[in-house]
Structure 1
Amino acid sequence: MEHTELSAWRYALYFAPSPDEPLAQIARRWLGRDCRTGAPVEQPRVEGVSPDRLREITADARRYGFHATLKAPFRLAEGRDPTELRRSLREFTLVRHPFTVPSLVLTSSLGFPALVPEEPCAALDRLADDCVRAFDLFRAAPSAEEIARRKARNTRLTPRQLDHLKHWGYPYVFEDYRFHMTLGGPLPDEDERHAVMAALADEFRDCLGKPLHVTAVCLFIEPEPNGDFRLFCRDKFG
C-alpha cells in the first residue's frame, strides 16, 4: 500500500479492553459491531425502543468502536509514517505499569450514556495527559475548515478548551479531560433515556461496580474518511 494512502488515514490512541474480556463482548453486542474484525453483531432488544432507533442511537459510538479516548483521532504530520508511530507506541507502553480503576458506573450526566470511573482516577488522567503530549509530534495540524466544524458542533467551548483545540487538536484534554466509554448519542426524550439506561444497566450488570484493569494502549485506524475505526494493535504495558 502506498505511503501517501497510509498518511491519509486517521489514527487514534484509545483505551479498550481486551477483545476476550466480558466488558468488550457486552459492548460489541450493545453497539452492534466488532471493532477488531469489522463484523456486524446483532444488538439486544430494548423495550420501548425500536431496533432501527437503537441503531441510530448507537451509530456514532459504533463507528468509533468501544473505547475511551487517550489521544483523539489525527492525521499524520508531514514526514511521519505509520511504522514510526507504531514503534513509538511500543516504546511508550514498555515503560508503563498496569493499574486498576476500582469501580465502573453507568451515567448519562455527560449528555449521552457512558461508562465512567465511580471516583476520579489520577493514573487514568496521567495516562491520557502523557498520550496527548508524547504523540503530538505525529499529529498534523487540523485545517481551518476542521477547526470551524468542531467549533460549530461545540458552541459551548470555554476559552481554555478553544485554546486546547488550537494547540492540541482537541478541546477536552488535561484539566478538561474525563475518561469515559461512550455507549450512545444524546437522548433528549426522557422516556427514551430511561428505557435505554435501564437496558444498559441490565446488559452491563456484571461489569458495573467492578474493577477496570488498565493494562494496554490501543491504536485504532480509520482507513477511509467517515469510515469505521478498526482496532489495529493493542500494546500491553511492560
Structure 2
Amino acid sequence: MEFSRYALYVAPPAEADWTRLATSWLGWDMETGTEVAAPDVPGIDVAAITERPRKYGLHATIKPPFRLAAGQTPAALFEAAEALCARLAPVTLDGLAVEQLGGFLALRPVGDTTALEALAAACVDGLDAFRAPAPQDELDRRRKAGLSPQQEAHLLRWGYPYVMDQFRFHITLSRRLRETDGPVADWLQAHLQPLLPRPFHIPDMGLVGEGPDGRFRLIHRYTLSG
C-alpha cells in the first residue's frame, strides 16, 4: 500500500484488554487495518462521538503526520526510524487516566513526564529531514485554532504547533463533546479506567502511514533499545 503521510505513534499493545476496548470504542484497528464494531452504549452515539479521531486509530502522536520530502524514500525513512529508536530508551509512566483535554476526552499520563517529553522531542527532530514543508492550506488551517507565538514558531519550524515545549501526550477518545452527547466520560471512567495499566510502559514506537482511504495503519514497531 502507498501512503501519503507518515508519523511516529505510541501504539498501545494490541493484546492488552484496555487496548481492545479502546480500539473497539474508536472503531478502527490500525494494527490490522480493519474496522471494529463499537460497543453498544445506551444513550451514547459512539460512532458519532468517535468519527473524527477514528481514522488515526488508538494512538498518541509523537512525530506528527508528514509528507515525505523530495528525494526521500519510504525505505530510507524505515531505516532511519529503526536507527533512531535504537538510540532512544524506553519510557515508563506511572499510568494513564481518562481526562478532558480541550473539550474532548483522552487518556493522559499520570506522574512525571520528563522522560516522555525528551523522547518526543528527539523523535520530532530525529526524522525531520524526511518531512516535506507543510502546504499553505495546512498552515492556514492550523492557525485557525488561535496559536500562541511559540506555537506559531513551532508550526513554521516543525510543521506542527504542538511539539517540543508545547507537547502534551494524549490518546484521543472523542471529538469535542456536546451537551447532547450523553454521559460519555462516566461510561469511559466506569469501563475503561479500571483496565488502564499502572505503570504504563512505552517499549517501542509505531511507524504508521496514511492510506488512500485517509486512515492510518501500523507499518512497523521499532524497539526503543537505547
When normalised by structure 2's length, the TM-score is 0.93
- Which residue in the other structure is 2:88 paired with? 96
Q: Which amino acid aligns with 1:38?
A: G
Number of residues paired by the alignment? 225
Q: How is 1:1-238 mapped onto 2 (pairs within 5 angstroms)?
A: 6=2, 9-49=4-44, 53-152=45-144, 154=145, 156-189=146-179, 192=181, 195-208=183-196, 210-224=198-212, 227-238=214-225
Q: Please report how far the alpha carbon of residue 184 of structure 1 lies from its aligned counterpart in structure 2 after TM superposition.
A: 0.8
| CA contact 1:106–1:208 (8 Å) conserved in 2 | no
Q: Deviations over 1:167-191 (max 9, x none)?
A: 10000011111100000110031x6
Q: Which amino acid aligns with 1:140?
A: A
Q: Please report how far the alpha carbon of residue 45 of structure 1 lies from its aligned counterpart in structure 2 after TM superposition.
A: 2.0
Find the residue that maps to 2:97 and give its secondary structure. strand
CA, structure 1 residues 40+209, in 2 after alignment: closer, same or farther (shift >3 Å)? closer
| CA contact 1:104–1:207 (8 Å) conserved in 2 | no
| CA contact 1:46–1:196 (8 Å) conserved in 2 | no
Q: State percent identity of aligned pairs.
A: 38
Find the residue that maps to 1:210 and give its secondary structure. coil
Q: Which amino acid aligns with 1:79?
A: G
Q: Which amino acid aligns with 2:11?
A: A
| CA contact 1:14–1:67 (8 Å) conserved in 2 | yes
CA RMSD of aligned residues (A): 1.7
Q: Aligned partners of 2:118, 2:26: CA distance in 1, in Å?
A: 28
Q: Please report how far the alpha carbon of residue 97 of structure 1 lies from its aligned counterpart in structure 2 after TM superposition.
A: 2.5
Q: Which amino acid aligns with 2:131?
A: R
- Bigger strand fraction: 2
Q: Aligned partners of 1:159, 1:174: CA distance in 2, in Å?
A: 14
Choose 206-215 or 159-168, whichever is displaced more. Answer: 206-215
Q: Please report how far the alpha carbon of residue 75 of structure 1 lies from its aligned counterpart in structure 2 after TM superposition.
A: 0.2
Q: Please report how far the alpha carbon of residue 119 of structure 1 lies from its aligned counterpart in structure 2 after TM superposition.
A: 2.6
| CA contact 1:30–1:43 (8 Å) conserved in 2 | yes
When normalised by structure 1's length, the TM-score is 0.89
Q: Aligned partners of 2:70, 2:104: CA distance in 1, in Å?
A: 36
Q: Aligned partners of 1:169, 1:160: CA distance in 2, in Å?
A: 13
Structure 1 unmatched ranges of 5 or more? none
Find the residue that maps to 1:160 and give its secondary structure. helix
Structure 2 unmatched ranges of 5 or more? none
| CA contact 2:49–2:181 (8 Å) conserved in 1 | no
| CA contact 1:221–1:230 (8 Å) conserved in 2 | yes
| CA contact 1:104–1:115 (8 Å) conserved in 2 | yes
Find the residue that maps to 2:61 and give its secondary structure. strand
